[in-house]
Amino acid sequence: VNAIARVQKPAEPDESDPDLRLFADRVRVYPKDVRGPIRRAKWAILILCLSVYYALPWLRWDRGPGRPNQALLLDMVNERLYIFDVELWPQEIVFLSGALILGAAALFFVTSLFGRLWCGYACPQTVWTDLFMWVERHIEGDRNARIKLDARKLDFDKALRKAAKHLAWLLIAFWTGGAWIMYYVDAPTATHEFWTGAGSPQLYFFTFLFTATTYLLAGWAREQVCTYMCPWPRFQAAMFDDNTITVAYQSWRGEPRHKKTDEGQFGDCVDCRACVNVCPTGIDIRDGQQLECINCGLCVDACNAVMTTLSRPNWLITWDNLVRQNARAAGRKPPAIRIFRPRTWIYIAFLTLGCTAMAVAFATRSTFDLSVQHDRAPLFARMADGTVRNGYTVKIANKHPIARRFVLTITNLAGASLDLPEESAARMPALSLVAGPDAVTTFRVLVRGARPPGGKADMSFLAVDQSGTDKAVYNSTFLGPGE
Ligand code: SF4
Ligand code: SF4
């Protein structure tokens, strides 16, 4: 038995054996600075994105007295989304959902054409990581200086540089987290309250929460977010095909690679690793298309600089698709880039239909909403004259900034009359209700009618605004005794 137990006892995993460990150690990436047109384009997009992000909460927009004058504001307290002249109520969240779905479809479309352009240029993770790296480079030096700095023991200079870098990162993160909060509360008010200590606990909590996440994601996690946390690289392959243009190493031209000192017939790649050294995700594009590649094109700038120095044609690393690369590799003339393909037609059709439907729905949206709730108890009351009375709670959401009068009637219920509880003897065919400006106004309404056959009848409330141009219908039921 002892012998069997000895045989069956599982071996302890050897944690020092890299093949048996569940998680690989992180390989630190030290991207080198690079100059070139693509880098300049990335800087321009970065400045544009950051300027819009930081400045937009401060843009004022006059909506009249008593209403917020911030151009873009998601007012959680009053449950409104303001986008310039557009005001969305919670009931209209479908427009926001629709816009997000169309945005996702547009992203799929762009990805199917040009690969991960979003990831490489406009994704917040890329933009802020780029900014944090720029700060790091200015404080700790370029790639080689940073590698040496990290390798050496702690001394005064290293401590000073590290402290300065983290302080700068924290300041940017704080500015970023604070700006994010200002999309939810009035920017000047929030700023004043924050610095005078008069802000709500939520104001301080969320500012520091978003400060911390910016600092961690852009300063520490960096490429790990793109590689391990973000789901987008996982399913982007579903949008790619052989015609999708991505950053590509032209191996047919570059291989066999060689050192500058090698002799013989070689490709154009001199194995200088400049493309690897500038890569923000630390990969080697010469290994082919990889999940980690964000399509930023910095390796293109780096390789072009090397090719220029060597007096060889640029674009050894380029933007191209597989079809054209295969043709070039076979010595054939590459076919023209195909923008219109079955998958892009699907995206175009979806975007066209979706945008049209959204535009029509938005242009014809109601200026008020009607909702009705039947009383739960009592369900009905028998009246002395043999009729039956039901109670309802009617809510009118008036989306106009002025009070409006609405006429409420009952349809589909023959002989029905309406009362307000305080005028229960009135028995009117219609009620005139005034709903407050930019608010939901609640009314108690009584409906009187003949006993419904079988104890239940379908009926509808119809509300028409004072101008007679806008109306809303709410289907409900009228209850009575079964027999
Ligand atoms: S930068 Fe160009 S030449 Fe240098 S290793 Fe990369 S592909 Fe080869
Ligand atoms: S391989 Fe080139 S394009 Fe891809 S992430 Fe690295 S530098 Fe950017």
- Among 272, 285, 269, 261, CA closest to 115: 285
What distance in angstroms lies between residue 269's CA and the mean position of ligand 1's atoms?
A: 5
Q: What distance in angstroms lies between residue 285's CA and the mean position of ligand 1's atoms? A: 9
- Tell me the backbone φ, ψ of residue 17, rounded to 5 degrees: -80, 115
Q: pLDDT for 280-325, tens place per residue? A: 999 999 999 899 999 999 999 999 999 999 999 999 999 999 999 9
| Nearest to 436, CA basis, from 463, 403, 393 | 403
Tell me the C-alpha distance between 442 and 433, whole Å.
10
Residue having the nearest C-alpha atom to atom 6 of ligand 2:
279
Instruction: Give the separation between CA 273 and CA 286, rounded to whole angstroms.
Output: 10
Tell me which residue of 123, 151, 174, 152 sits closest to 280, measured CA to CA: 123
Ligand nearest to the CA of 306: 1
**Rounded to an integer, what distance in angstroms lies between the CA atom of residue 17 and that of residue 200?**
52
Q: Which 8-state DSSP code applies to residue 428?
A: B
d(CA 245, CA 451): 71
Nearest in space to 374 (alpha carbons), one of 459, 299, 311, 315: 459
Ligand 2 center to residue 391 CA distance, Å?
Answer: 67
In the reported structure, the alpha carbon of residue 102 is separated from the centroid of ligand 2 by a whole-number distance in angstroms of 28
Reported as type and span, the H/E element at residue 41 is helix 37-55
Q: Taking a C-beta distance cutoff of 8 angstroms, is the pair 208, 176 a contact?
A: no
Cβ–ligand 1 contact at 271 (below 6 Å): yes
DSSP state letter for 120:
I
- Decide if 397 contacts 91 (C-beta within 8 A): yes
Which 3 state secondary structure label does DSSP give 259?
coil
Nearest protein CA to atom 6 of ligand 1, as residue? 275
Please give the span between the terminal C-alpha atoms of the chain, in angstroms, as a whole number: 82
Integer Cα distance of 406 and 366 in angstroms? 13
- Nearest ligand 1 atom to the CA of 302 is 1
- The single-letter code of the amino acid at 330 is A
Residue whose CA is closest, atom 3 of ligand 1? 269
Looking at the CA of 248, name the nearest ligand: 2
Q: What is residue 182's predicted lDDT score, i.e. its pLDDT?
A: 96
Q: Which residues line ligand 2 (CB under 6 A)?
A: 247, 278-281, 283, 285, 293-299
Full-prediction pTM beyond 0.75?
yes
- The closest residue, in CA terms, to atom 4 on ligand 1 is 272
The 10s digit of each residue's pLDDT in 146-155 is 999 999 999 9
Cα–Cα nearest to 461, from 391, 409, 426, 421: 409
- Is 274 close to ligand 1, i.e. is its CB under 6 Å away? yes
Residue 40 exposed, middle or buried by CB count within 10 Å (0-12, 13-18, 19+): exposed
| pLDDT tens sequence for the chain (483 residues) | 454 445 455 556 566 666 667 777 888 999 999 999 999 999 999 999 999 999 999 999 999 888 899 999 999 988 999 999 999 999 899 999 999 999 999 999 999 999 999 999 999 999 999 999 999 999 999 999 999 999 999 999 999 999 999 999 999 999 999 999 999 999 999 999 999 999 999 999 999 999 999 999 999 999 999 999 999 888 888 899 999 999 999 999 999 988 766 666 789 999 999 999 999 999 999 999 899 999 999 999 999 999 999 999 999 999 999 999 999 999 999 999 999 999 999 999 999 999 999 999 999 998 999 999 999 989 999 988 889 999 999 999 999 888 999 999 999 888 899 988 876 567 888 999 999 998 999 999 999 999 998 899 999 999 999 888 899 999 999 999 976
